[in-house]
Structure 1
Amino acid sequence: MESWSININCDVGEGIGNEAELLPFISSCNIACGGHAGDVLSITQIVKLAKTHQVKVGAHPSYPDTSNFGREVMTIPNSELGQSILKQIRMFDEVLKKEKVEFHHIKAHGALYNETAKNEKLAELYLETISKYRSKVYLYVPFGSVIAGIAKKKGFKLMYEAFGDRNYNKDLSLVSRKLDNALIQQPDKVLHHILPIIKEGTVKVVTGEEIKIMAETICIHGDTTSALEILMYLSKELPKYRVELQK
């Protein structure tokens, strides 16, 4: 009988303060490192929690934009953006070295994530900025995205990511948070959203069509109101469908 395993990740360190509750139910976490939220203290606290719960840790760099929580595209010089991203990741890496924790992955946040998925020049800039980490860490990227294609050619290690608490457009972009149907917050709806992604490699988009997708990690946003409820529900229900949470 076929079975599956899945890495579930959460964006954390964003000021919600729910990390101690979330981490027992996930495989990996993406820690804000100063662009949209977070500082050395918050990174350190979460890294220590992750070590306790055997959760893999990754950097979650963003546009340097705390006022918009990194969810708006910024028009800034390439050099300034590159320097900011590198500063964020270096700060994160320094904490990991101090705490003797392995650097597992990098996942861009918010508008930076969405823009690098479709903007070739921005994707090139981002990948060039983090090229030092090419052979050391995974990149969490969307399946079929511009950045995934470029990163693969450049020799980065990839993990394809899908979103358990977000609806998709037909082109596999996320429905804008400005729209009422952007979020999936009911635990049972999240379950039935991700099961086809995990088991069949398809996702039901807002048009009702089933579109091909690939995901090795599924994100439940730490700032989704029902995040803990969703994760607790998945931990109980996924084994019934022969899906195991990776640790």
Structure 2
Amino acid sequence: MPAIVDINADLGEGLADDEKFLPYISSVNIACGAHAGDHETMVTLVCAAKQAGTAIGAHPSYPDRENFGRKELQMEPAALYDTLLSQINLLAACCTAEGATLRHVKPHGALYNHAARDPLIAAVLADAVAAIDPTLLLFGLAGSKMLDIAAGRGLQVVSEAFADRTYNGDGSLVNRTLDGAVITNSAQAVAQCLDMIRKGSVNTIMGETIPIQADTICLHGDHPDALAFARIINAALKREGIFIQSPAVKK
């Protein structure tokens, strides 16, 4: 049976060439204004993604534009729930206005990593998604508590792996402040993608090999040479006979 994988990218975060990514990915995560983006960028990307046939997702974060959503905030659960509802609903409204469909949610930055390890944060996230639309897919770190808790609440989850980030032995991402956290060599990124898809494994920063489930692979839009990475990885996967398509929503 041929391998199938989703390729997603976080867009609407201030880059000038966002729309050029769309031919090389199958899902787009659009910043909802809390760490980056605004109504104009949301509408622009929703329209472009609709035309390209790219699945549209919300990319909510901690409300912290100053730190690009990469600082872990201590928020009361009710306050976090409210900001998540507000952010996701903003993008959902843009989709409705443009005749597009919101398909998934993927948290950003510090919120993503916090929810991956903290059951309380994961539960708040899952409850917010379910309150908006329980058929929305939730993208989260492969093997994390976020996915377990969301699945336990009846949400459909999508295990995410990363083309351009390195891993610790416990399956978490190496902190961006550390050397080697971001993969800048395209050949290394391609090799990592192929291992994750074909072998279900990834090499850690310490040289171990650990299992990983890669339903979707992320390419960061703010990565150095991000667009070139997207082209190279898309072409490499296709050469290997790997089909690139967005995850199906189960009815």
Per the normalisation by structure 2, the TM-score is: 0.95
**Counterpart position of 2:136:** 137
Aligned ranges 1:224-243 → 2 under 5 Å = 224-243=223-242
Provide closer, same or farther for how the CA distance between residues 134 and 160 of structure 1 changes in structure 2, counting only shifts above 3 A.
Answer: farther
Q: Within the alignment, does 1:94 sit opposite 2:93 as a pair?
A: yes
Q: Which moved more, 1:138-147 or 1:73-82?
A: 73-82
**Counterpart position of 2:8:** 9
Equivalents in 2 of 1:89, 1:178: separation in Å? 29
| Runs of 4+ displaced beyond 3 Å | none
Measure how far apart 1:68 and its partner are: 0.4
Provide closer, same or farther for how the CA distance between residues 235 and 131 of structure 1 changes in structure 2, counting only shifts above 3 A.
Answer: closer
- 8 Å contact from structure 1 (residues 36, 65) kept in 2: yes
Measure how far apart 1:168 and its partner are: 0.4
Q: Within the alignment, does 1:115 sit opposite 2:114 as a pair?
A: yes
**Counterpart position of 2:155:** 156
Q: Deviations over 1:91-117 (max 9, x none)?
A: 111000001111110000000000000
Measure how far apart 1:14 and its partner are: 0.5
**Counterpart position of 2:79:** 80
Measure how far apart 1:38 and its partner are: 1.2
**Counterpart position of 2:249:** none
Aligned ranges 1:20-35 → 2 under 5 Å = 20-35=19-34
**Counterpart position of 2:165:** 166
State the identity as a percent. Answer: 37
Q: Which moved more, 1:114-123 or 1:17-26?
A: 17-26
What letter matches 1:233 in structure 2? I
Measure how far apart 1:201 and its partner are: 0.7
Measure how far apart 1:77 and its partner are: 2.2
CA RMSD, 1 decimal: 1.2
Mark the runs of 5 or more structure 1 residues left unpaired by the alignment: none
Equivalents in 2 of 1:233, 1:143: separation in Å? 23
Equivalents in 2 of 1:183, 1:49: separation in Å? 28
